[in-house]
Structure 1
Amino acid sequence: MKVLLSIKPEFAFKIFDGTKKFEFRKVIFKNPNVKTVVVYASSPVQKVIGEFEIDDIFSFNPQALWKITKKDSGITEDFFYEYFADREIAHAIKIKNIKKYVKPLSIKDDFNVFPPQSYVYL
Structure 2
Amino acid sequence: MSIAVLLSIKPEFALAIFSGEKKFEFRKAIYRDHSVSKVYVYASAPISKVIGAFYVEEIIERHPKALWRETNHGAGITKEYFNKYFANCEIGYALKVKDADRFEESRDLEQMFGIRHPPQSFRYVTAHV
TM-score range, shorter chain: over 0.9
Name structure 2 gaps, 5 residues minimum. none
The answer for the alignment partner of 1:96 in structure 2 is 98
State the distance in 1 between where 2:35 and 2:78 align.
31
The answer for the alignment partner of 2:120 in structure 1 is 117
The answer for the alignment partner of 2:53 in structure 1 is 51
Number of aligned pairs?
A: 122
Query: Which one-letter code corresponds to 2:5 in the other structure?
Result: V
Query: Which one-letter code corresponds to 1:121 in the other structure?
Result: Y
Deviation at 1:33, TM superposition (A): 2.2
| Equivalence map 1:21-32=2 (5 Å) | 21-32=23-34
Query: Which one-letter code corresponds to 1:83 in the other structure?
Result: Y
State the distance in 2 between where 1:32 and 1:25 align.
14
- Provide the aligned C-alpha RMSD in A: 0.7
Q: Percent identity?
A: 47
Which secondary structure state, in structure 2, belongs to the residue aligned with residue 88 of structure 1?
coil
After superposition, what is the alpha-carbon deviation per residue over 1:97-121, rounded to whole angstroms, capped at 9, x for unaligned? 1111000000122211220000000
Name structure 1 gaps, 5 residues minimum. none
The answer for the alignment partner of 2:9 in structure 1 is 7
After superposition, what is the alpha-carbon deviation per residue over 1:75-118, rounded to whole angstroms, capped at 9, x for unaligned? 00000000000000000000001111000000122211220000
| Structure 1 length-normalised TM | 0.98
Query: Which one-letter code corresponds to 1:116 in the other structure?
Result: P
User: 4+ residue stretches of structure 1 with deviation over 3 A?
Assistant: none
State the distance in 2 between where 1:20 and 1:108 align.
27
After superposition, what is the alpha-carbon deviation per residue over 1:12-53, rounded to whole angstroms, capped at 9, x for unaligned? 000000000000000010012211000000011001000000
State the distance in 2 between where 1:60 and 1:35 align.
19
| Structure 2 length-normalised TM | 0.93
